[in-house]
């Protein structure tokens, strides 16, 4: 038997649903904004330009597009899982992965330490998987919406590892 959709659960007040969506969206936007600010300064530097990058490194313009979509999915997926009854078992890993997400940016771009960032991104990948697994019993849709983020973090880990190896 499949779990009910988050939208099939007992109704809550629309105010509390909207407040939760704003909180989850705000947290995601805060991490996105801080990460963008940290990244922009570093990407414009000689340090980043001088790094050898792998042949599969995407065009710079793709990062902003991909991350905008992913941060929206990060916020909406946790909101759906929360509406489906996920509380601490979903919110704890979601919050941890969000902190690690910013931590990776701080390590790689802020501290300019790709080796340290490699450790953080491995933890981030684990936390992202943990989050999706925690979402699954509450909403398969939410867990599925988290999959592109997990795939991108895995791809970013491969980029990070390649940059470490090439430099």
Distance separating alpha carbons of residues 78 and 84, to the nearest angstrom: 10
pLDDT value at 10 more than 80: no
Higher pLDDT, 21 or 15: 21
Per the model's pLDDT, the better-predicted residue between 86 and 7 turns out to be 86
Whole-angstrom distance between the N-terminal and C-terminal Cα of the chain? 51
Q: What are the pLDDT digits (tens) for 79-96?
A: 999 999 878 899 999 999
Range 12-166 classified under CATH 1.20.1260.100: yes
163 neighbors 53 (Cβ within 8 angstroms): yes
Q: Is the pLDDT of residue 7 over 60?
A: no
- Reported as a pLDDT band with limits 50, 70 and 90, residue 1 is very low
How far is residue 78 from each of residues 75, 123, 127, 165, measured CA to CA in Å? Answer: 6, 19, 14, 35
Longest dimension (CA), the chain: 56
Per-residue pLDDT of 18-71, as tens digits, reads 899 999 999 999 999 999 999 998 888 899 999 999 999 999 899 999 999 999
Please tell me the predicted confidence (pLDDT) of residue 68: 95
Average pLDDT in the 10-19 region?
A: 73
Read off the pLDDT of residues 112-148 as tens digits, 9 standing for 90 and up.
999 999 999 999 999 999 999 999 999 999 999 999 9
Q: What is the distance between the alpha carbons of residues 63 and 44, in angstroms, rounded to a whole number? A: 14
24, 104 in Cβ contact below 8 A?
A: no
Cβ-count burial of 166 within 10 angstroms (0-12 exposed, 13-18 middle, 19+ buried)?
exposed
Q: Do 164 and 114 touch, CB atoms closer than 8 A? A: yes
């Amino acid at each position: 038997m499949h779990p009910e959709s988050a939208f099939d659960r007992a109704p809550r007040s629309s105010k509390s649903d909207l407040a939760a969506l704003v909180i989850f969206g705000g947290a995601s936007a805060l991490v996105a904004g801080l990460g963008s600010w940290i990244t922009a300064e570093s990407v414009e530097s000689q340090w980043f330009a001088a790094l050898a990058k792998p042949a599969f490194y995407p065009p710079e313009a793709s990062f902003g597009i991909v991350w905008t979509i992913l941060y929206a999915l990060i916020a909406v997926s946790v909101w759906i899982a929360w509406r489906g009854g996920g509380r601490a078992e979903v919110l704890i890993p979601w919050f941890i992965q969000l902190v690690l997400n910013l931590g990776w940016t701080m390590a790689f771009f802020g501290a300019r330490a790709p080796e340290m960032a490699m450790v953080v991104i491995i933890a981030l990948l684990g936390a992202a998987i943990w989050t999706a697994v925690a979402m699954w019993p509450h909403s398969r849709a939410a867990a599925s919406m988290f999959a592109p983020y997990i795939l991108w973090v895995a791809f970013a880990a491969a980029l990070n590892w390649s940059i470490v190896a090439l430099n």
